[in-house]
A = this chain, B = another copy of it.
């Protein structure tokens, strides 16, 4: 009954197999191998356009390099105050951008809205070097609250950003889960809605270590190549990432994984929602469930072998927090979450909440 993180699962058998199959033979390093090239083509198919693709080692590196490809001196990134780049990356975006600044904004359910973004941008008018200049908006899809931006919402924010000369970055550590929730194409959820640069995560959804930055404007590729190498993110045996992506994209495996993960989260969420004494903090739209229940319930569930994290109330919006004696918890599902474990958890939960 492991719901701590989608990072707790290993690689899916299909991905693991693809990697095992890439083991033999000699192939050029640093992305000049056929497999790596083929995967770039695969990304172009997936996104229905020419894209530049850069494998990197971590989601933090993907986000930070993506933002560094946008920001210039004095550059500011507008992001949700709960976003991964703002609170979970130890200043990596600031480091990679040589001192770029993150200005964090509030937003219900882990999401920014266009009006908030527009107001934030307006504060930098007229331009003055003292204040720096907003150059990017970063959205997390699915968000840190497990919610999902609709393409229309993304497009509206993109419109606000582009009008003011900002680029739109999407942190897609759980991009597949968002697609599964929205039932739209990757293109629709990204560049057709105005996304300029995408951090495309596959690690949480069935790989060992497969992250990529997707530039929808491939003219930035030369620049990005140097920036990636300079930050120690150019992997020598590139085919080991490429092989994982090969399995990942094979016959819709990635979407199967995400659909399963979301389905497991929906199950958990609907039971919690219907249970007196517990409630959902956010609607369950992807593969994360945020719930509030008495702290004693957590203790009882853990005693039964369930793992999950308490969620810090400090990051929540006013009014979102728990009451006296309550805790906010986060349950995360993944491709590897078994239906039997969900069932076992639900049973344990029922007993824990009505002891």
Contacts and interface: CB of A to CB of B under 8 A. Distances in A.
Nearest to A201: B236
Nearest to A68: B73
Interface residues of A, number: 83
A278 interface: no
Contact of A27 (B8, B16, B57, B91): B8
Interface in A91-138: 91-102, 119, 123, 129-133
Contacts of A132: 90-91, 226, 230
B29 A10 contact: no
Copies of this subunit: 4
A337 to B, nearest CB: 9
B94 A94 contact: yes
Given A19-B19, A233-B58, A131 B90 contact: yes
26 contacts: A4-B28, A19-B208, A26-B307, A26-B336, A30-B130, A56-B232, A58-B232, A58-B233, A58-B234, A59-B236, A60-B232, A62-B232, A65-B232, A73-B230, A74-B91, A74-B227, A74-B230, A89-B230, A90-B131, A94-B101, A95-B98, A96-B99, A208-B237, A209-B235, A209-B236, A231-B232
